[in-house]
Copies of this chain bind each other. A is one copy, B any other.
Amino acid sequence: MEPALRELWAESRDLLGLPSSSQDATAVPRVSLPPTPLAFLRDHVSPGRPLLVSAAATRHWPAASLWPTASYLTDALRSTAVSLHLTPDGRADALASHPHPRRPGSSRCFASAHVRRVDFPTAVRLIRGSDPAAGLVAYAQQQDDCLRGEYAAVAGDVDAHVPWATEALGCLPEAVNLWIGNAHSVTSFHKDHYDNIYVVLSGEKHFLLLPPTEHHRLYVRDYPAARYVATEQSSEGGRQLRLKLEMEVPERIVPWSSVDPCPASPEELAVQASSFPLYFDGPAPIRCTVRAGEMLYLPSMWFHHVSQSPGPNGLTIAVNYWYDMQFDIKYAYFNFLRSLEINGCSSGKPDASEGDLEEKKD
């Protein structure tokens, strides 16, 4: 089975015009002007090929000039409550060490953030001060169409939809989300059941991408779900927030990728590489950095890992448009592929049984 899979990986990258062996940062096709709806559909959506559109496409958005300035958003949203996702290390919806070491079985769990509603200026202060060394990283996000919900006061600063994508896909976006973090927030490998247009407005987002044909390289396995809970503690400077991981009760199982593509130390890299050889011995992930003003089209079902660099305002700010994907023969092929066991690294379950969290992330 493994040689057939490696052939599939090589052929799909070859047919999509993507490199198999290098870490070429210019691998994703880039255009300076938005494509026509027909060309977008034919050359990107239908074949499943990402596209990067230069900043010219968003130059007319008020957000392009206003949002990077230090005070515009905090003024516009000064009395708005927003959802802030808090973790000790910037890794929400990611694997973490199991909080009950004596529990039999897996030593890792799937950890969700602690979510608090705070006023926007407080959120920005906590995001800017985020630091794993201090045990607190904050990320303002909510994958529930939050730009048109919590952030409605500034939603008019960006286009309500992406006209060429809307015409090509034949529908308006189902959700438009806003994401504000600093360099410490990282999104682990996952996929979405949406065609995704990702627009960076401050700082940069760094994507590692794998086509859906490379499913087995991610070692998707079942993990019990846990959630960070907060306790307030007195300290010298006043009261301080402490986060503690607690297993969900009743138990909930989340299939998630076991692979950390950016381990923190050489020792951890060695452990990962020996545990997940299909990832570390296979073709390098496709790297793509999206800069302020640029738009990335990420086809549905592509695996992506996202890290970020803040702009001069200390923040990475991005908006994404989720369009309903077409469930067609490509999706049937994907489900067949993932049903095949190889070295115990398929969950073996139909795609539809996955947790909502995998379907709705960044």
**Other CB < 8 Å A-B pairs besides A38-B170, A333-B333, 6 of them?**
A5-B336, A11-B331, A38-B38, A45-B46, A213-B333, A333-B337
CA gap between A328 and B332 in the complex, in Å: 15
Across-interface contacts of A331 in B (CB, < 8 A): 11, 15
Across-interface contacts of A48 in B (CB, < 8 A): 328-329
Closest B residue to A340 using CB positions: B4
User: Could you tell me the distance in whole angstroms from the C-beta of A100 to the nearest C-beta in chain B?
Assistant: 36
A326 CB contact (under 8 Å) in B47, B167, B329: B47
Closest B residue to A332 using CB positions: B12
B42 to A329, Cβ gap below 8 A? Answer: no
1-18 of chain A: CB within 8 A of chain B: 4-5, 7-8, 11-12, 15-16
Q: List 13 A-B contacts (CB under 8 A).
A: A7-B335, A11-B332, A12-B329, A15-B327, A41-B42, A45-B46, A46-B46, A47-B328, A47-B330, A48-B328, A212-B329, A213-B332, A213-B333
The chain A residues found within 8 Å of chain B, CB to CB, are 4-5, 7-8, 11-12, 15-16, 37-39, 41-42, 45-49, 167-170, 211-213, 326-337, 339-340, 350
Across-interface contacts of A330 in B (CB, < 8 A): 47, 329-330, 333
Across-interface contacts of A336 in B (CB, < 8 A): 4-5, 7-8, 11, 213, 337
Across-interface contacts of A212 in B (CB, < 8 A): 329
CA gap between A168 and B16 in the complex, in Å: 19
Across-interface contacts of A38 in B (CB, < 8 A): 37-38, 41, 167-168, 170
Across-interface contacts of A47 in B (CB, < 8 A): 326, 328-330
User: Could you tell me the distance in whole angstroms from the C-beta of A42 to the nearest C-beta in chain B?
Assistant: 6
User: What 4 pairs across the A-B complex have the smallest Cβ distances?
Assistant: A47-B328, A46-B46, A12-B332, A333-B333
CA gap between A49 and B330 in the complex, in Å: 12
User: Could you tell me the distance in whole angstroms from the C-beta of A333 to the nearest C-beta in chain B?
Assistant: 4
Closest B residue to A10 using CB positions: B332
User: Could you tell me the distance in whole angstroms from the C-beta of A165 to the nearest C-beta in chain B?
Assistant: 12
